[in-house]
Amino acid sequence: MSPLVLITLIGAALAAPAPRVLGAAHHGERVGEDLEWTTTVVLAEPSDGRLELALPLPERVTWVPVEGISPVLDLQGQVVAVDLLIPHKRFSLKVHERSDAHTIAPPLLDTDAVQRVTLSGAWFQADPVLGLQKHLAYQAHPDIEGAQRRAIDRMMNGSRSGLEDQPLYLMADARVRTAGALRGELRPAGARSQAVAIATAGTFAVVLALLFGLARVLERVARREKVDAYIRSELG
C-alpha cells in the first residue's frame, strides 16, 4: 500500500463520526480488595470507530482484552479511548481496578448520554464536588430526570439489585472532568445497609413526631368544640 493511500485511509478514519452512545452502565464487583468492572454500552446503531473516555484510566486500572475492541493509549500509557474494530450495537468492556478508598475508576465515556454506576460488595458515597444529589435509593446528576433513570435501567435489562446497589446516575460533565476522577468514599456493603437503616429509622421517627403533633392538635380542637357546645347549651 502506498504512503498516499495509507495517509488517506488514516485521515478518513480520523474524520469519521464517533459512534452515538445511547447509554452506558458500569458495574463493579468487589473481589478481595479490588474491583472488577464490566461496562455495557448501547449504541444508536451498529457502528465501529473510536469512543473517547471522559477520564483517562489511572495506572492502577488494568485493561482486560476483549475481542474486536482495542484500547487506545496516550504517551503516558494510560487508556484514553477504545476502538471498535468491527460494528457493534451493544458491547461490553472489562477492567480490573486495584481498589482505592477515595476514588473509583470505571471507564466513563465522553458522551452526554446518561451513564449508570453500580457496585456489589461495596458502597460508594460520591464527593459533593461531583454535584450529584443524594436520595435514599440512588445518587444522581441534577439534570437527570426520573424518566431518564428508568430508561437506562430498562436499556440495561433492568439489571438493578434494588436499594442495596445505590446506583449513581451521572453525565460526563465539567464537574466530573474538573474532579479528574469519581471522588468519594468507598465503603463495605454493610455500611450501606447500616446507613439505610439509620435513614429509615430517622424518617420513621420524623413521621411519628408529626403524627403525634397532629393528634395533639386534633385533641385540642375536639376539646374546644366540646366546651363551645356546652356553653351554647347553657346559654340556651
Supply the DSSP string of 160-192, one letter for each residue.
Answer: ---GGG--EEE---HHHHHHTSEEEEEEEHHHH
Residue 135: what pLDDT? 93
Residue 215: what pLDDT? 67
Which cell goes with 111? 458522551
Where the chain has pLDDT below 70, the residues are 1-15, 158-165, 190-213, 215, 217, 230, 232-236
Given the DSSP bridges, would you call strands 34-52 and 115-120 parallel, antiparallel or unpaired?
Answer: unpaired
Residue 6: what pLDDT? 43
Residue 203: what pLDDT? 44
CA distances from 173 to 9, 177, 226, 236 (A): 32, 6, 62, 75
Residue 160: what pLDDT? 53
Residues 6+ apart with CB under 8 A from 5: none
Residue 198: what pLDDT? 42
Given a contact cutoff of 8 angstroms between Cβ atoms, the answer to whether 25 and 106 are in contact is: no
Q: Which pLDDT tens digit goes with each residue over 187-197? A: 988 654 444 44
DSSP letter assigned to residue 180? T
Residue 225: what pLDDT? 81
Q: Which pLDDT tens digit goes with each residue over 169-187? A: 999 999 999 999 999 999 9
